[in-house]
Amino acid sequence: MSKYQHIKQKAYEANMQLPKLGLVLFTFGNVSAADRELGVFAIKPSGVPYDELTPEKMVIVDFDGNTIEGDLRPSSDTKTHAVLYKHWDGINGIVHTHSTYATAWAQAQRCIPVFGTTHADHLTVDVPCAPPMSDELIAGDYEYQTGHQIINHFKENDLDHQEVEMILVGNHAPFTWGKTAEKAVYNSAVLEAVAHMAHLTEQIDNYAPRLKDSLIKKHYERKHGPDSYYGQ
Ligand SMILES: [Zn+2]
C-alpha cells in the first residue's frame, strides 16, 4: 500500500462531497489534502468524472508542483494548490470550484459584502475578491501565478489566511482552504450560501447596508472567540 494512502483517501472523500453539495458540474472543481510532514498533497486527477474517481486515482504532488506518485495527470489547477501550501502554514486542504453564485460575484469582480449573521459566523470582513490576472501573468505560468495573485491580495489587504479561509479570483471563481480538506469543503459550501444570500439581498434592496459592527463581533466571537459558546 502507498505511504500516501491516508491523504489519497481524504482527498477522495472530500472531492466526492463537491457534487453531493451541488458545488460542481461535470468535472469542474478539485480538492486536495496535504501531509505537511511528508511535504506532499493528494489531488484529483484532471478531467476524470466524479463517478469514476477512486482513492487510488488521486495524484501525489509536492509543494513545488512535481508529481511524486500516480498514473494520471493531476488537476490543471495543481500549481495553484502547491503555491498556497508552500507559502501558507497551517492549511491542509484546498478547494477550487466554479459554484454558481460565488463565481458570479468573481465574474462581477466584487467582494461579497457582509450583509448578515450567516456571513459573520464565519468571517468578520467582506469575502475578498482579487483582481483579474494581468495579460502578462496569463501568458506566463498561469496556474502558478494564480496562487501568487491570491497570496499577494492577502498581503496587500493585510488579511490573515487562517482567519479568512476563502477568496474570489476576479473573472474566475472561488478558492477556499482550511486546517483539513473537510473544513475546506465546508468553507466552499458556506461561501456559496453566503454568495447566494448576498445576491438576493441586493435584488431586494440595492442599497442594503452592511451588518453593523456589534452584530459582526457578536456572531463571530460566539463561534470563534475565547469565550465562544456555540456548539457542544
Ligand atoms: Zn477554475
How high is the mean pLDDT of the chain?
96
Q: What residues does each domain of the chain span?
A: 5-224
Q: Over the stretch 112-150, which tens digit does the pLDDT of each residue have?
A: 999 999 999 999 999 999 999 999 999 999 999 999 999
Q: Residue 170: is its pLDDT beyond 90?
A: yes
CATH number of 5-224: 3.40.225.10
Q: Residue 159: is its pLDDT beyond 90?
A: yes
**So what's the pLDDT on residue 75?**
96
Q: Is 77 a catalytic residue?
A: no
* More confident position, 62 or 229: 62
Ligand 1 centroid to 89 CA: how many Å? 23
**So what's the pLDDT on residue 225?**
80
Q: Is 126 a catalytic residue?
A: no
Report the chain's C-alpha Rg in angstroms. Answer: 18
**So what's the pLDDT on residue 83?**
98
Ligand 1 centroid to 174 CA: how many Å? 8
Q: Which residue has the cell 501531509?
A: 35
- The reported pTM is 0.95
How far, in Å, CA of 152 to CA of 163, rounded? Answer: 16
Ligand 1 centroid to 154 CA: how many Å? 19
Taking residues 76-103, what's their average pLDDT? 97
Q: Over the stretch 183-226, which tens digit does the pLDDT of each residue have?
A: 999 999 999 999 999 999 999 999 999 999 999 999 888 888 88
Taking residues 92-99, what's their average pLDDT? 98
Q: Which of 35, 121, 142, 144 is catalytic?
A: 121
How confident is residue 26, by pLDDT bands cut at 50, 70 and 90?
confident
Taking residues 142-171, what's their average pLDDT? 97
Q: Residue 32: is its pLDDT beyond 90?
A: yes
- 192 CB contacts (<8 Å, ≥6 apart)? 22, 23, 97, 99, 100, 101, 102
Q: Residue 232: is its pLDDT beyond 90?
A: no
- Other residues' Cβ atoms within 10 Å of the Cβ of residue 163: 11
The C-alpha angle 208, 23, 220, rounded to 5 degrees, equals 45
Q: Residue 28: is its pLDDT beyond 90?
A: no
How far, in Å, CA of 139 to CA of 133, rounded? Answer: 10
Joined together, the cell numbers standing for residue 146 give: 494564480
Which candidate, 6, 55, 62, places its Cα nearest to that of 180? 6
Q: Which of 64, 141, 213, 230 is catalytic?
A: 230
